[in-house]
Structure 1
Amino acid sequence: MKAAVLYSTVPAADSAGGKQSYAESRPLLVQELEQPEPRAGELGVSITYSSLCHSDLSVVDGSRVRPLPMALGHEAVGRVVSVGDSVADVSVGDHVVLVFVPSCGMCRACLAGRPALCHRAAEVNGSGDLLHGPALLRTPTGERINHHLGVSAFADYAVVARESVVVIDDDVPDTVAAMFGCAVLTGMGAVFNTAGVGPGQSVTVFGLGAVGLSAVMAARLAGASSVIAIDPNRGKHHLARDAGATAVGRPEDAGRLIGEAAGDGVDVAIEAVGSAGVIASCLEQVTRGGAVVSVGLPRPSAELSVPALQFAGAGKRLLGSYMGDAVPARDIPKYLAYWQEGRLPVELLHTDTRPLAGINEGLDALAAGQVVRRLFQA
């Protein structure tokens, strides 16, 4: 099999303080590995397309600490090619979307109907193992290679837990399905599951990457009367309009646009940047009783300082949303049905497709805001 492996992190800035060129430093090594077989409870999946996300970049630059070496990638689509013992509901040939939280079904979060917060999944995702056993990948010299979020999708093949896949219809194009396991699931889930946006409400989305644009689409589907999309990159503004935004602008425009659309503040603000400062700004931008949903992943060292009286005094809420509080087996088919009905223009997220050999150049493009979702084919 072939996989892109990270052996050491590379900071976002070089020694002179300039932006790092990943095309030059080449932190991800695409190499041949021995192909493992699935154990009990696992599947072998032939990866057709994988998708590059900021969460991958945050591992490469060291802001999200993971055990190395690690085969990266957590958003993908593929076909099942082998089935381990005790798996009875998935067959060879099934079309599957890979999911980066393989819920155990038995911990307190799973039993409460919140599999995205599975305690066991958090443990094994943090250690680089799989839900049903230790890491299977090895370097050519026999050194252990850790799995990224139970998926390791920058590859042409992966062994994953049965709980890491959702079977989908055969006729969904892979270039569409590839983006449902993280971007669409997270952005739409933040609107539907975490915020519970309803008809007539006003919504602002800060950050127009794939997750933020998915949140814009979801807000319009939910019947929001105003959807204000904010990003400093003007190149993404037309995508937001096509996704359903009623107004778009840069951060300095947010106050004016919100005032014009919703008076004293919006009902819901979605923070899809990964910035403590933007979270604090969102709390100022929502109306009394409004909700801020934090979707982006700030650096672990980031701290939030806000006036405490905004909560009890103004009834505002700050809600965390991991993987969109999704139940993947329920939500992925539902969101795909919206796409099949022509109500969810997910194709807007797909910037282009490249060979896996260009993964390091893809990191540069993502860091520079030149792409939304670049797909890779091994």
Structure 2
Amino acid sequence: MKIRAAYVPERNRLTVAEVELDPPKERELLVRIHAAGVCHSDLHTLKGELRTQPPLVLGHEGAGVVEAVGPGVTRFAVGDRVLINWLPACHICTQCQSGRPNLCERLASTTYQGALIDGTSRLHTEEGVSVKQYLSASTMADYAVIPEDGAVMLQEDVSFDVGAIIGCAVITGVGAVINTAKVRPGSSAAVIGCGGIGLSAVLGCVVAGCHTIIAVDVFDEKLAFAKQLGATHTVNARQEDPVQALKSITGGGPDYAFDSVGSARTIPQALNATGPAGVTTVMGLHAALEDVPISAGQLIFQNKSLLGCFAGSARPDIDLPNLQRLYLAGKLDLDKLISKRYPLDDIALAFEDMEAGKVARGVLVFDS
């Protein structure tokens, strides 16, 4: 079938074009996409800075309705509302069996290469040239074929646009707070970088019961979003030294720091800012993949910790339903996290707004 998609035929070339989508194979679903989140990872991929290289269709945050199922599907039926889990784990490797499906060993040879579980893609051009599926998903299109393990039920009272962002931004940011750092109630926390993941971490700190939540960014608009979501203080890193500001606000440094930028500049800042026994969690990845200078003295003599966090250290089958429950209980204000909606044809504008710091999280919406 022909679909309209955010198609990247080569690095730094973004088009909205028709591509061909084959029917679902064994244990796969055809999903009509109703909403797709706009993530920095998609932009990095457009620029050729991450593993999956063109030609490809972008998008890994998404939600929609199952239109068809392949042979062997047991968990979903036509008409089910689903959100996309872009980490379709194998459940049998050492990492999966150890409770770390976000680190599934199969992902390196399939998902990160732009393929589904069998190593192939369901996308191709009219001429028959294979087109990669970004993170086993490619949700920036009106339809997608995904693995059965790449979907989670979307509850009836959760909108498609909220469901879409839960699958990456929210599970990463909230997961960094709850799963990775295991923040204690009554603590202080700083969040460096207030894009979708950083703002989700702000929400996670609210859920965790932090009494002080400091948002750090270089865009005042993003800091305003952070305040709306529960940040108690904000720091514009262009106007003041963030390390000194964080120490001043907290009287010695926050208990926790969350870095969603992940650069050679921000990681040491986050580590330096925390107080004794502080925990710094890196949950974002700078495109340059830089080496980072770290003071071993801080780690040892101040008993500090530096943690890495991939995809919120999440168990998607458990965490994605739980995040929906928190949202429905009024504990996660995800409606405020979505600040602008775009049609697919405005995908370039959505990326521009994201880079300019004009949005908290942008979402592509498709006609019902």
Shorter chain as denominator, the TM-score bin is over 0.9
Residue 31 of structure 2 aligns to a residue whose secondary structure is strand
What aligned pairs does 1:90-109 form with structure 2 within 5 A after superposition?
Answer: 90-109=76-95
What aligned pairs does 1:140-159 form with structure 2 within 5 A after superposition?
Answer: 140-159=126-145
Query: Scaled by the length of structure 2, what TM-score is found?
Result: 0.95
Q: 2:210 aligns with which of 224, 238, 261?
A: 224
1:369 aligns with: 357
Report if the CA contact (8 A) 2:174-2:204 is conserved. yes
**Quick check: 1:304 aligned with 2:292?**
yes
1:269 aligns with: 257
Q: 1:342 aligns with which of 330, 341, 352?
A: 330
Report if the CA contact (8 A) 2:6-2:140 is conserved. yes
Report if the CA contact (8 A) 1:132-1:161 is conserved. no
Residue 34 of structure 1 aligns to a residue whose secondary structure is strand
Cα distance in structure 2, aligned partners of 1:255 and 1:339: 33
Q: Deviations over 1:112-139 (max 9, x none)?
A: 1111111101321222110234112111
**Quick check: 1:248 aligned with 2:250?**
no
What aligned pairs does 1:27-46 form with structure 2 within 5 A after superposition?
Answer: 27-46=13-32
1:15 aligns with: none
Identity of aligned residues (%): 36
**Quick check: 1:69 aligned with 2:44?**
no
- Write the letter of the residue equivalent to 1:314: Q
1:159 Cα offset (Å): 0.5
Q: 2:125 aligns with which of 139, 163, 166?
A: 139
1:34 Cα offset (Å): 2.5
Residue 248 of structure 1 aligns to a residue whose secondary structure is strand
Cα distance in structure 1, aligned partners of 2:230 and 2:268: 25
2:6 aligns with: 4
Query: Scaled by the length of structure 1, what TM-score is found?
Result: 0.92
Residue range with higher mean Cα deviation, 255-264 or 132-141: 255-264
- Write the letter of the residue equivalent to 1:269: A
Cα distance in structure 2, aligned partners of 1:136 and 1:174: 23
Q: 1:324 aligns with which of 312, 315, 335?
A: 312
Residue 95 of structure 2 aligns to a residue whose secondary structure is helix
- Write the letter of the residue equivalent to 1:317: S
Cα distance in structure 1, aligned partners of 2:65 and 2:282: 33
1:161 aligns with: 147
Residue 309 of structure 1 aligns to a residue whose secondary structure is helix
Q: State how many pairs are aligned.
A: 362
Residue 51 of structure 1 aligns to a residue whose secondary structure is strand
1:253 Cα offset (Å): 5.1
- Write the letter of the residue equivalent to 1:232: V
Residue ranges of structure 2 left out of the alignment (5+ in a row): none
Cα distance in structure 2, aligned partners of 1:357 and 1:192: 36
- Write the letter of the residue equivalent to 1:176: V
1:7 Cα offset (Å): 1.3
CA RMSD of aligned residues (A): 1.4
Residue 320 of structure 2 aligns to a residue whose secondary structure is helix
- Write the letter of the residue equivalent to 1:242: Q
Report if the CA contact (8 A) 2:199-2:226 is conserved. yes
1:51 aligns with: 37
**Quick check: 1:284 aligned with 2:272?**
yes
1:215 aligns with: 201
1:264 Cα offset (Å): 1.9
**Quick check: 1:126 aligned with 2:112?**
yes
Cα distance in structure 2, aligned partners of 1:65 and 1:336: 30
Cα distance in structure 2, aligned partners of 1:377 and 1:111: 37
Cα distance in structure 2, aligned partners of 1:367 and 1:238: 16
- Write the letter of the residue equivalent to 1:270: F
2:46 aligns with: 60
1:163 Cα offset (Å): 1.1
1:257 Cα offset (Å): 4.0
1:270 Cα offset (Å): 0.1
Report if the CA contact (8 A) 2:247-2:273 is conserved. no
Cα distance in structure 2, aligned partners of 1:33 and 1:371: 29
What aligned pairs does 1:82-97 form with structure 2 within 5 A after superposition?
Answer: 82-97=68-83
Name the CA shift for 1:300/1:110 in 2 (closer, same or farther; >3 Å).
Answer: farther
